[in-house]
Structure 1
């Protein structure tokens, strides 16, 4: 990019954990930054699952540059050993961080398109010298344009849940019955949602931590509201690793959640329907019946909760030249390191700006969005990504290449984070690793050469 563009701001998309951490690192390095947040507050997506408790402790959920930015404000560090809910994370850390960033964060600002100024994706001539032009939709209906030197997309995947259909497409009838289908973990502390599920039969589709959470919550409700029952729809069978690592899980809270889901089945509050790949959702009187690809039919249910993972929204980046893996929709260099078809998810490889680059120089997908459809993600991974990206944009290439990360080698699969938001299903192949003899910490120094 031309040197005359260096005076322009870096656009960060999303005021969630990765976006705000990116803004903190960029600000610390003296770079101008604008954070575009579609919602009315910071951490809009996190607040949407605020009733869910995270698997990581506070010590793993606060970015270091963010903590340095917050220190002069009188911010109090939460108990590092405690496990916050999503609401705690938003209110006690993410919103104060956004407040500390001040008017760098623009709420009610949706990015609808990003391109090279005066160049669509076809044009080669002079492309790299042009800044980025960003189209914004404001909450009051007005439209604006912003010119930026670089784009850091931390918009996450929360807005695009995967459908019920086992082929990645909506099941037949799925759109017709949206009033009785949810794509989120129920909040049973909400009286309206409690009434929706109490005494009812609910199909829960998915095999990750979100499904575990839903099964556990519905089992608790069944004790108070007889007749509450879950039909657990699994695309694979039940094996030794179905419920995660249990007591051997390097993330104890995640292991405990898996055991609660197992108890829901063992105690008869949930019935597992295995090898069931949903093809259709059909009306059955005043209920719904799920139909599998092999013609099997579920028992009629009142509600359906679809927790089959999330996927990135790439529509507003269509005029950029992105290098994405054709399976995971993750950056090409990152995908082999996180592909659940090839690797156990017990090891998270360190990575930074080098693995997050695209043919379009100056564009970075970070945080959960960088993982595309890969099922697991830790907040610490996102914080390391944005530290490296900020160093790269500041011209500190030595710091960008250096990996400063310590992660638990958990040895088990599941929603180990998704910024520790349990919303991802394991790969359909069930490519899961067994628990190690003892969890250990792996400290990464300089980035190794990956096989």
Structure 2
């Protein structure tokens, strides 16, 4: 929670969430974010448009290739093409002076195939629901997984969290058989010494135990087979050393291979992107010089307002999306980014007024 967010809850006599809890996303929304949303609605200074997707963003009067490195773009407004799913209509939001993209990466999962491109049939299997790309919800998704043989692809925190969710489902109903598939050999998780996040260490420890064949850590109703295989979606008949082969009949697959930003919505803006992470270049360079976002993510801090600037004046990318394909982003970094970008907006707004823009 940000200092500002905590202050708003106090002003509205809403109890602060307990600091020693580990909320799920839905719990975080109900205990914190929904209160802030009501505050913003009540303020009369903010309009929140629900059920909307931004399809494309551009400058109102300039094409992408026009006025490169020119101050002329600074005074031009943005326009955004919006789709409202509740109304099934598109419309424009126009005359926008500053635009901040905080849309994250959750709706843009990585592919599971070799080299990051889709495996054979992957796109079709996602469309048909045979591949799920997010952590299962134990209440909503139980019927999809109970009594099934499930392939789980990935070796990050999401993968072991998905295993926990499947275990929780199985303890309330039928058995679940899981084939956990990873690309690299050895233990999947690097534990942090004296980890300040005990829940993270618990997840990583459990994942490493499973990789060593200690399946009992998930209880009696989940059977886990751990398989290291490079071609993760074409493994049903692969040689596993010494001519051995494995053939597995699967019911459904969970692909937890990380996320990437959807940068197509700002194709018409002059945004300098990192060739490796797909994040904004200045911040990507700062993260790289600080160790590439590696090590313990808790030790990070914001890299300052200037790293949030792009060649497109008045346009900023914040939050998870600003880190590109890196998973090291923290909410506390996002809160610092918001403070930094408001400083930049205030400064640029004054410059626009002074120049008569």
Q: TM-score, normalised by structure 1?
A: 0.66
Q: State the Cα distance separating 1:219 from its structure 2 match.
A: 3.7
**Contact in 2 for aligned 1:247/1:256 (Cα 8 Å):** no
Structure 2 residue aligned with 1:266:
214
Is residue 2:178 matched to residue 1:196?
no
Name which of structure 1's ranges 121-130 and 324-333 shifts more when overlaid on structure 2: 121-130
Aligned match for 1:321, one of 270, 275, 300: 270
- Counterparts of 1:331 and 1:376 in 2: how far apart (Å)? 15
Once the two structures are superposed, residues 379-409 of structure 1 have per-residue CA deviations (whole angstroms, 9 ceiling, x without a partner) of 1011111111112211299xxxxxxxxxxxx
- Counterparts of 2:234 and 2:104 in 1: how far apart (Å)? 28
Task: Specify whether residues 291 and 115 from structure 1 end up closer, same or farther in structure 2 by C-alpha distance, changes over 3 A only.
Answer: farther
Aligned match for 1:305, one of 254, 257, 265: 254
Larger helix fraction of residues: 2
- Counterparts of 1:109 and 1:348 in 2: how far apart (Å)? 32
Task: Specify whether residues 343 and 128 from structure 1 end up closer, same or farther in structure 2 by C-alpha distance, changes over 3 A only.
Answer: closer
Structure 1 residue aligned with 2:323:
371
Q: State the Cα distance separating 1:79 from its structure 2 match.
A: 1.4
Is residue 2:228 matched to residue 1:250?
no
Structure 2 residue aligned with 1:330:
279
- Counterparts of 2:52 and 2:293 in 1: how far apart (Å)? 38
3-state SS in 1 of match to 2:57: strand
**Contact in 2 for aligned 1:202/1:305 (Cα 8 Å):** yes
Aligned match for 2:51, one of 76, 91, 108: 108
**Contact in 2 for aligned 1:234/1:277 (Cα 8 Å):** no
1:17-416 map, 5 Å: 62-102=1-41, 103-124=46-67, 126-138=72-84, 139-140=86-87, 141-178=89-126, 179-190=129-140, 193-222=141-170, 227-239=175-187, 242-245=188-191, 248-264=194-210, 265-267=213-215, 269-278=223-232, 280=234, 289=236, 299-339=248-288, 342=292, 344-346=294-296, 347-395=299-347
Stretches of structure 2 lacking an aligned partner (at least 5 in a row): 217-222, 350-357
| RMSD after superposition | 2.8
Task: Specify whether residues 291 and 189 from structure 1 end up closer, same or farther in structure 2 by C-alpha distance, changes over 3 A only.
Answer: farther
**Contact in 1 for aligned 2:146/2:169 (Cα 8 Å):** yes
Task: Specify whether residues 72 and 163 from structure 1 end up closer, same or farther in structure 2 by C-alpha distance, changes over 3 A only.
Answer: same
Larger Rg: 2
Q: State the Cα distance separating 1:205 from its structure 2 match.
A: 0.7
Task: Specify whether residues 231 and 338 from structure 1 end up closer, same or farther in structure 2 by C-alpha distance, changes over 3 A only.
Answer: farther
- Counterparts of 1:225 and 1:261 in 2: how far apart (Å)? 23
3-state SS in 1 of match to 2:179: strand
Task: Specify whether residues 390 and 263 from structure 1 end up closer, same or farther in structure 2 by C-alpha distance, changes over 3 A only.
Answer: same
Q: State the Cα distance separating 1:348 from its structure 2 match.
A: 2.0
- Counterparts of 2:280 and 2:333 in 1: how far apart (Å)? 15
**Contact in 2 for aligned 1:117/1:130 (Cα 8 Å):** yes
Q: State the Cα distance separating 1:297 from its structure 2 match.
A: 5.6
**Contact in 1 for aligned 2:183/2:231 (Cα 8 Å):** yes
**Contact in 2 for aligned 1:331/1:370 (Cα 8 Å):** yes
Once the two structures are superposed, residues 84-142 of structure 1 have per-residue CA deviations (whole angstroms, 9 ceiling, x without a partner) of 22111101111111111114222123222211121110111632221212222233114
Once the two structures are superposed, residues 281-307 of structure 1 have per-residue CA deviations (whole angstroms, 9 ceiling, x without a partner) of 7xxxxxxx3769x99765222111000
- Counterparts of 2:202 and 2:192 in 1: how far apart (Å)? 6
- Counterparts of 2:150 and 2:186 in 1: how far apart (Å)? 20
- Counterparts of 1:73 and 1:89 in 2: how far apart (Å)? 18
- Counterparts of 2:169 and 2:193 in 1: how far apart (Å)? 25
Task: Specify whether residues 337 and 180 from structure 1 end up closer, same or farther in structure 2 by C-alpha distance, changes over 3 A only.
Answer: same
- Counterparts of 1:374 and 1:297 in 2: how far apart (Å)? 33
Q: State the Cα distance separating 1:246 from its structure 2 match.
A: 6.7
**Contact in 2 for aligned 1:235/1:276 (Cα 8 Å):** yes
3-state SS in 2 of match to 1:189: coil
- Counterparts of 2:229 and 2:286 in 1: how far apart (Å)? 28
Once the two structures are superposed, residues 55-75 of structure 1 have per-residue CA deviations (whole angstroms, 9 ceiling, x without a partner) of xxxxxxx11222333433222
Q: State the Cα distance separating 1:229 from its structure 2 match.
A: 1.8
Q: State the Cα distance separating 1:245 from its structure 2 match.
A: 1.8
Q: State the Cα distance separating 1:183 from its structure 2 match.
A: 0.4
